[in-house]
């Protein structure tokens, strides 16, 4: 089976994409943003429904979605981040500690900045010690909106 592209529309958010590898594991995810809608493959309909429910504000846990993650510290960050529940946040330093390297807050921040698996890895739940922090090209307001969707007000 070849890699599969799944596109989903989240009303009020836009269109997002998820790529599944040959084994059905997510290896790339692009959060929804305004643009034209594309077709959804048959293989992705269940995942599409779950993503739409999440962006509609329903409590959705993606812990059962298999992800292709790195070994080493980034893999440790990914596994630790999946333990942070909806409605809670951790700092970059706390994520580093959960991943087994308490002095690696900057490396945890780099992991979050490079992560292409949101919302399956909820990197929006990782904040700076002094506030919300930034969030790549989507910006702080997008991060704030995701946190508010989960009941977090910063």
Res 58: pLDDT:
93
3-class secondary structure, 124: helix
Structural contact between residues 124 and 118, judged by C-beta atoms closer than 8 angstroms: yes
Res 39: pLDDT:
62
pLDDT by residue, tens only, the chain of 154 residues: 688 898 888 888 988 999 999 899 999 998 888 765 556 566 577 888 899 999 999 999 898 888 988 889 999 999 999 999 999 999 999 999 999 999 999 999 999 998 989 999 999 999 999 999 887 778 899 999 999 999 998 8
Res 61: pLDDT:
87
Gap between the Cα atoms of 70 and 146, Å rounded:
25
The pairing of beta strand 4-10 with beta strand 14-20: antiparallel
Res 149: pLDDT:
94
Res 33: pLDDT:
83
Gap between the Cα atoms of 126 and 110, Å rounded:
12
Query: For the whole prediction, is pTM greater than 0.85?
Result: no
Res 150: pLDDT:
94
Res 136: pLDDT:
75
Q: ω into residue 121 within 30 of 0, thus cis? A: no
């Amino acid at each position: 089976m070849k890699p599969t592209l799944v596109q989903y529309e989240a009303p009020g958010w836009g269109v997002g994409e998820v790529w599944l590898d040959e084994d059905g594991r997510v290896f790339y995810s692009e959060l929804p943003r305004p643009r034209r809608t594309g077709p959804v493959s048959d293989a992705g309909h269940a995942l599409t429904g779950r993503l739409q429910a999440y962006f509609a504000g329903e409590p959705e846990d993606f812990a059962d979605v298999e992800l292709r993650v790195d070994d080493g510290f980034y893999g440790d960050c990914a596994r630790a981040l999946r333990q942070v529940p909806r409605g809670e946040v951790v700092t970059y330093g706390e994520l580093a500690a959960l991943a087994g390297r308490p002095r690696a807050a900057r490396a945890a921040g780099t992991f979050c900045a490079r992560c292409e698996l949101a919302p399956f890895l909820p990197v929006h739940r990782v904040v700076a010690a002094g506030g919300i922090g930034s969030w790549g090209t989507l910006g702080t307001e997008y991060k704030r909106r995701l946190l508010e969707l989960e009941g977090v007000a910063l």
